[in-house]
Amino acid sequence: KAKASKAKQAQSRVKALERLELIGPAHVDSGFSFDFHKPDKLPNPMENLDAVRCGYRSEQGEVAILDNVCLSLRPESRLGLLGPNGAGKSTLIRTLVGELAPLAGRFDKDNDLAVGYFHQQQVDRLDHSDTPYQMLSRFHPKWSESALRSELGRFGFHGDDVFAPVGRFSGGEKSRLALAMIVQEKPALLILDEPANHLDLDMREALNMALQAFEGAVVMVSHDRHLLETTVDEFWLVANGSVTRFEGDLDDYGRWLQQNRRDGKPVKEEKAGDGLDAKARRQQAAQQREQLRPLKRQVEKLEKQLSQCDQELAKIETALGDDSLYTDDSRKNEMNALLGDQARLKKQHDELEEQLLEAMESLEQAESELTV
């Protein structure tokens, strides 16, 4: 907490961790509990990017997505990547992992660095004929069957499931299996691209707790607000072709998205002399507005629902401020009902915030594609 005054992100994380202490016991008996093994080595620094240009090489030439990226990853790094969909977060992650070579600049990576990389494509590429038991035994060929079963059980695989082909598993089960394999790699750096997708609430909390205890560095992209607030210390914004430190928390990021949308360039209009007459330009502008309308409606709908939820929560919390509620035995049922409503509304509030953040990012991306 002594460091909390240095950054708003840290203050948000302290509050989120305090909430986690309250809800954590509810997940103790969920059946999911794991941790990341201690890394063999913790290089310092792990990776250094100096004026790096990130993008792709093709037969047509280079396609730059991000330019002049300067970033240093150290054992204590806990980074959350923010930015509209399509702005370059995945490009940056693939560069950090080594899937994409920098187009320019200097990228230094320690040779002994063990990286654990989670992404949906990796989950989708799991061999459908493989089984959890076979996959784990490749990491630990000398382990007994009981030891292998015990390790798989920490990720919710029990009984015949350990010998079932991956092709039969749901998206959530495949994600759990992919995480189990990453744990065996004993990574020093975790790079996680939407790790909570397809995971149920109990497994999300198990992942959350495991990340709390992880001794290495974390770089994460996620729309799970709770996961971000409790596992990262600083945010970096990927937008407009650059990567910059974001001085704020997730509430500030939501306001940034709204402000950026209000201050953004107008829907793309062809300039004079572009070969289109005034009527054609008006028709084109109308078509572009029509493309954005469903996204804007979704944002407005979620903003309205969030506002209503806030109002209901305020009423509940005002009622819970009545001291007699806790001293008058005849009001015990009323108190329990109010506490239940408060818990339900707080859960709804978190879900609406997450959906709104994702909707605003989608709208921001769509608007940027229609602007000059």
Q: What is the CATH number of the domain that holds 13?
A: 3.40.50.300
Mean pLDDT of 270-282: 47
DSSP helix, strand, coil percent of the chain (3-state; round to 5): 55, 15, 30
Which of 254, 269, 304 is the C-terminal boundary of a domain? 254
Q: What is the pLDDT of residue 275?
A: 44
CA distance 57 to 9: 36
Instruction: Say yes or no: 307 and 187 in one domain.
Output: no
Q: Is the pLDDT of residue 310 over 80?
A: yes
22 confidence band (pLDDT: 50, 70, 90): very low
CA distance 263 to 25: 45
Residue 275's region, left for phi above 0, alpha for psi from -120 to 50, else beta, is left
Instruction: Say yes or no: 93 and 233 in one domain.
Output: yes
pTM of the entire predicted model: 0.68
Look-up: residue for tokens 């992100």? 9
| Contact in structure between 100 and 56 (CB atoms under 8 Å) | yes
Half-sphere exposure for 57 (CA within 13 Å, toward CB): 8
The tens digit of pLDDT for each residue in 45-67 reads: 999 999 999 998 887 788 899 99
List phi, psi (to 5°) of 80: -110, 130
Instruction: Say yes or no: 84 and 132 in one domain.
Output: yes
Instruction: Say yes or no: 154 and 225 in one domain.
Output: yes
Q: Give me 305's structure tokens.
A: 């629902």
Q: Give me 326's structure tokens.
A: 């806790």
Report if residue 273 sits inside a domain. Answer: no
Report if residue 275 sits inside a domain. Answer: no
70 confidence band (pLDDT: 50, 70, 90): very high
Q: Is the pLDDT of residue 17 over 80?
A: no
346 confidence band (pLDDT: 50, 70, 90): confident
Q: What is the pLDDT of residue 367?
A: 66
- Radius of gyration of the chain, Cα coordinates, nearest whole angstrom: 24
- Most confidently modeled range among 91-105, 249-263, 284-298: 91-105
The better pLDDT of the pair 360, 105 is held by 105
Residue percentage of the chain with pLDDT more than 90: 44
CA distance 265 to 272: 17
Q: Is the pLDDT of residue 245 over 80?
A: yes
Report if residue 271 sits inside a domain. Answer: no
Q: Give me 350's structure tokens.
A: 């978190």
Report if residue 266 sits inside a domain. Answer: no
Q: What is the pLDDT of residue 73?
A: 96
Instruction: Say yes or no: 32 and 72 in one domain.
Output: yes
Look up residue 83 and give its DSSP letter: -
Q: What is the pLDDT of residue 267?
A: 31
Least confident stretch, 24-28, 77-81, 170-174, 344-348: 24-28
The better pLDDT of the pair 367, 358 is held by 358
Which of 254, 272, 307 is the C-terminal boundary of a domain? 254
- Write down the mean pLDDT value for the chain: 83
Domain count, the chain: 2
Enclosing domain of residue 314: 280-369
SS3 356: helix
The better pLDDT of the pair 16, 318 is held by 318
Report if residue 260 sits inside a domain. Answer: no
CA distance 172 to 130: 17
Report if residue 265 sits inside a domain. Answer: no
CA distance 326 to 332: 7
Mean pLDDT of 223-246: 91
- Most confidently modeled range among 65-79, 200-214, 254-268: 65-79
Q: What is the pLDDT of residue 141?
A: 94
Which of 239, 254, 269 is the C-terminal boundary of a domain? 254
Instruction: Say yes or no: 135 and 199 in one domain.
Output: yes
Report if residue 45 sits inside a domain. Answer: yes
CA distance 27 to 23: 7
Instruction: Say yes or no: 111 and 231 in one domain.
Output: yes
Report if residue 262 sits inside a domain. Answer: no
Q: What is the pLDDT of residue 264?
A: 59
DSSP string, 325-344: HHH-GGGHHHHHHHHHHHHH
